[in-house]
Structure 1
Amino acid sequence: MEDALVRRRSEMLEAEVDGELVALDVESGTCYSFNRSATRIWQLLDEPRTVGSLRDALLAEFDVDKLECERDLLEALEQMRVGGVIESSVPLPAAPTKG
């Protein structure tokens, strides 16, 4: 999981509104709205990154438990993957469940 390389899938026109990102996929005409967490993940994906490096960057920025961070990250990445805005070098694992 940590070595899965994630990258943005297509060019988007982006605007930040109140700390959240609104993006338009030029190719499909689809508009996306990212919450604050997803906005930060998107910003970190300005270059392709591994899931592990994304997690570590978020842990360094936010006061959050490692398991919670990993779970939230994987959930956000899966939503982005399903939405067609990112792709991964290998299938992303399911987010760990709350214990």
Structure 2
Amino acid sequence: MADPLPDTLLLVQTRRMPTGEIDGELMALDAAAGDVLGLDVIGTQLWGLAKEPVTLGAMIDWALQHYDVAREAAETDIRRFVGDLLDAGLLERAQ
């Protein structure tokens, strides 16, 4: 298993894919792969935090403030989610 993503990882939305929201859920078109990607409401909110560079730790803190979730669960789920978005090309490491 790869090392977990650090809380200090700085993330930002990529601008390579056209995106839009439908009923509070993000839809993104990956034209190169011929895929449409979708995020649920919470995923869309987390992705929205990265409109400007944001740390992974700040995303976790945001979830803890807005949802009734245990820290360990939030850390695990958001690290996995961010890893998936990095792999999908919806997030990138900010400079």
So what's the TM-score if we normalise by structure 1? 0.75
Aligned to 1:68: 73
Cα distance in 2 for partners of 1:25, 1:40 equals 20
Compute the displacement of 1:30 (Å).
4.8
Read off the aligned partner of 2:57 and give its amino acid letter: G
By how many angstroms is 1:40 displaced? 1.1
Structure 1 distance, partners of 2:27, 2:90, is: 13
Residue of 4, 7, 20 corresponding to 1:2: 7
Aligned 1:26-41 pairs, distance under 5 A: 28=32, 30-41=35-46
Specify the code of the residue in structure 2 equivalent to 1:18.
D
Q: Output the aligned Cα RMSD.
A: 1.9
Tell me the number of residue pairs that the alignment of Structure 1 and Structure 2 aligns: 88
Paired letter, 2:40: N
* Matching residue's letter, 1:68: A
Tell me, yes or no, if structure 1 residue 50 matches structure 2 residue 50.
no
Runs of 4+ in structure 1 over 6 Å off:
none
**Structure 2 gaps, min length 5:** 1-5
